[in-house]
Chain A
């Protein structure tokens, strides 16, 4: 025994225990990898939804603000807005999640089914209080001159 080199010494080695150890370690490592991947992907999904909400919301806020600006400028001239419409599309889903958008004159609030939320603050002088959902994609933002209100129709 003493003459054998340490690396070639196979005393006290059980093939069964070695197999069990190897299997356990492999299972533990694989489970760890799978679980961390799942957690990471979930985190990435939420981040992606929130980022997309921010961009979608900013684009929408930009349109509402444009409409607001045009209406106010026209009114400052003493003019009348006979028609003002913006057509826009929203994606059917973001990261495989359906979502809803709630627009008030102070903020745009977006919420997905996986509870990812985002809101864009802005300030509109006109009245707007609308709710839209991603089950329909094509909408029109329009100005109702009679009631000084911004509305959304499909």
Chain B
């Protein structure tokens, strides 16, 4: 009797076993796939930090830009703080709306008390008393003009503008308050390009400065600081809350 014609159920049993084993294999494979998918779903990096860093960056840029706009020649000087506040409120409102579309609550607030009461920044790298006291503003300078207004100084610690090239340096020491201009001619009489401009002992002295010029690569540059404005950025998501205050140097 052929196996196909055999009606004693052996073939049926065999088929049953094959189907059973097939089902077990399929179930195990599917289970593994589902397990792995779930595992992969739980992992993943945290992208919120990029949002916060981005916010810090664009807020800083906008504050600098708004300050330069309202203090530019031709603008109404008496309305500069009002115009600045209006521009920043507009920016903050738009920012909140844009981030709300991504499910994030954002609020930007500004403390402009330093500007209001004309408290100039320290000559440190970030403008605060705690910032790096010795720092380099720019390297590879070809020609430049330096204007420094010292509003407050500790006479026992000499604040110094140090101009140096690869072989020599020219220190310009400040002992009193007041405005001092160092022209490009004066610099060329003391040092040859390419040179670097650094501030030494900047933490105990405050004031504002503007340095303009060209680098040896032919590019214009401006380094300038009047005040430090404090921006407080709040960002909240479903599982993260941050409230960060950063000092922003204006105008550059």
Contact = CB atoms under 8 A, between A and B. Distances in A.
B246 A77 contact: yes
B240 A78 contact: no
A78 B244 contact: no
Interface string B25-65: 00000000001000100111110110011001000100000
A14 interface: no
A62 B50 CA distance: 13
B171 interface: no
B53 A70 contact: yes
A80 B240 contact: no
B247 A77 contact: yes
B242 A83 contact: yes
B239 A88 contact: yes
B183 interface: no
Contacts of A56: 42
A74 interface: yes
A20 interface: no
B239 A87 contact: yes
Interface residues of B, number: 30
Interface in A15-58: 48, 51-52, 55-56, 58
Interface in B215-252: 232, 238-247
A78 B39 contact: no
Contact of B53 (A55, A73, A80): A73
Contact of A79 (B42, B238, B241, B246): B246
B46 A74 contact: no
Contacts of A59: 42-44
Interface residues of A, number: 27
Contacts of A79: 56, 244-247
A78 B130 contact: yes
Q: Main SS of the interface on chain B?
A: mixed
B192 interface: no
A63 B46 contact: yes
Nearest to A89: B239
Contacts of A82: 232, 243-245
Contacts of A88: 239
Given A73-B56, A78-B127, A84 B45 contact: no
B252 to A, nearest CB: 15
Contacts of B48: 66
A81 interface: yes
B56 A66 contact: no
B131 interface: yes
Interface string A64-101: 01100110011001111111111110000000000000
Interface in B2-41: 35, 39
B43 A85 contact: no
A86 B239 contact: yes
Contacts of B43: 55, 58-59
A48 to B, nearest CB: 8
A51 B238 CA distance: 27
Nearest to A142: B241
Given A52-B39, A82-B245, 6 more contacts: A65-B46, A70-B242, A78-B247, A79-B247, A83-B243, A86-B239
Closest 10 CB pairs of A and B: A78-B126, A79-B246, A83-B243, A82-B243, A66-B49, A87-B239, A66-B46, A77-B246, A85-B241, A80-B245
